[in-house]
Chain A
């Protein structure tokens, strides 16, 4: 039984860490929703696009090479350089800012003061558009991220816990890195949102577009800023998830892991995205550990596996019954 307790604790700690990885995706959603009231369906594709761009720029890949070759009969693939990681990151961030400007210029500008559902539908279209452009720009092959991101079991934790408990806990260095990054992002974003004039302007825009405009806030500038920051967060999420699986088009599906986090943590709370992610992560990992264990099977006469995908949503729904706005979301009061 002592063994099982240790295994359960290990599963819970890994759940916490995995939850932080979910939160990295959820953060981008929260930021855009908080600032503009838009549920950005394209957030997962933005993570994919950011990671694709980073790898493409770093490895010297010629963007739209396939298209260029098809039109002009050439055979160019690569510029022949390998950029340092920091230069590639800076250029990718610049690309995400350009992307944010284009979203505002060609999409959102035309939808000011529209119903949220219209804006949501626009982001669905944006997701498909970006996926296609990403494919044309960088190709559909799986790419390895060439950044010094630590991966694999953390030996210090393994040996320390072995000395203490007689069983070494498995914690992935990638998850630890993601947790540190998430903490930095949350602290920075919270301070920015609460204490800077731009942050307050973001929240004003979220409350009411027309009212914000009437007090002199430039809605278009705010949207560019918000989408740029969300693009940066998407890049971080894409890199962390891409480090695990390679950068590939299934990265866009990580959105599915962020949705229950948002439902639970609330769509408007930055700390909520982290706490929600942790609750979902721990919940799904501990539930899976319990229901797949032999002692559960002995007691109940059956075991269950592969529960994580649906359990996350069930857990989020249970929270919704008691707090429809999520744990940390702003309570919606509408006069009738």
Chain B
């Protein structure tokens, strides 16, 4: 093996005997000429982004990776058949939690209230002259309040006192009501006491102990608390 010369740092030249028989061996021109071969070799095997450093490596004795590391592709998750559920970020993007204020009017939700009254009538078996049965009162804890006309009777924040409207949305901590003035109001449960009337019965809701998601309320076991004071 001939020792590498100053010019040919990366490779060593072909032996003289091979060179003499280059035509017979049908060696390509670039193979015979080392530098041309080198540049074509580099072009074939080195990623374009590393090509500049590869050319300089000749003089600089640098290491050039010839193998490009291709990151392993993660196996794709199985495609769900049918409708895919949106994740939380997509849900926020679609804006399905925010009821658009431009479109909400009190009058459009009055039928919802009528629907709710019918639902409560059948849920509680209401009779105006008789007191509400104990199990009916317990059913109130798990009932759905969308469509109920709630009034804030008492609040730690005085500006909320008197706010009344139809419940459009219930979250863990708040109720979103649409008032008669077509205003969408978000009322926190924990600081307010709410009232509504149903067939001759006045129900007072202590929001402080009602801070649960409506879905969780169905299975929740309510325990008596120390006080209803705000």
State whether these chains interact: no
